[in-house]
Amino acid sequence: MTFLRRLNNFIAKFEGWLLIFIVLFMVFLAFLQVVLRNLFAHGILWGDTFLRHLVLWVGFIGASLATKDEKHINIDALSRLLNERWKLGVQTIISFFSALITSYLAWISWRFVMEEKEFGTILFNNIPVWYFQIIIPFGFALMSLRFLLSGMEKLIRTINYQEDA
């Protein structure tokens, strides 16, 4: 379990740096587009399309990091009524169920991206669109892995839970 936690932290650091790089590049490209349009009445032809697809990358990398830190959207109305052990048990079930759903979404989105590859859809400058869409299945797969790890940790904590006497 320690190896998986270290691997998860390593992936998170890589994602964090990748996210910083992408956002900085997006700000630079958007600023360049504005300057070129205002000064020369023309921008980079593929700039807006590229920026839209980079937003997809930022969204999925951010969602993956949020899942790692358990900062994703959740509804916790029931957890306020439960004691700690039951709360851990419910959170464990939710984590495993979330891992199942996100792994299904990863599989479905993988099929979608492979269909895009097969159809040969071009984004711009002879660059296939699936190069940019590949983040969708990988993002869902990372979220699934993180939900699974969280579920396993919570299951161990639930099993080892001892109430204070």
Task: Say what the pLDDT of residue 165 is.
Answer: 40
H or E stretch at 128: strand 127-128
Task: Say what the pLDDT of residue 162 is.
Answer: 67
Encode pLDDT of 4-19 as tens digits: 788 888 989 999 999 9
Neighbours of 86 (CB within 10 A): 14
Q: Which of 131, 111, 112 is nearest to 122 (CA)?
A: 131
Answer yes or no: is 119 within a domain: yes
- Tell me the helix, strand and coil percentages in the chain, rounded to 5: 80, 5, 20
Task: Give the chain's domain count.
Answer: 1
Whether residue 78 is predicted with pLDDT greater than 50 in this model: the reply is yes
Are 136 and 84 in contact, with CB atoms under 8 Å apart?
no
Please provide residue 130's backbone torsions phi and psi, each rounded to the nearest 5 degrees: -70, -20
Task: Say what the pLDDT of residue 82 is.
Answer: 75
Mean pLDDT of the residues in the chain: 89
Task: Say what the pLDDT of residue 124 is.
Answer: 84
Answer yes or no: is 165 within a domain: no
Answer yes or no: is 86 within a domain: yes
Whether residue 145 is predicted with pLDDT greater than 70 in this model: the reply is yes
Q: pLDDT band for position 47 (50/70/90)?
A: confident
Answer yes or no: is 164 within a domain: no
Mean pLDDT throughout 152-160?
85
Domain that holds residue 17: 2-159
**Those residues with Cβ within 8 angstroms of residue 109's Cβ, 6 or more apart along the chain or in another chain:** 136, 137, 140
**Distance, CA of 113 to CA of 131 (rounded, Å):** 9
* Highest mean pLDDT: which range of 77-86, 106-115, 152-161: 106-115
Task: Say what the pLDDT of residue 163 is.
Answer: 62
Answer yes or no: is 56 within a domain: yes
Mean pLDDT throughout 68-85?
76
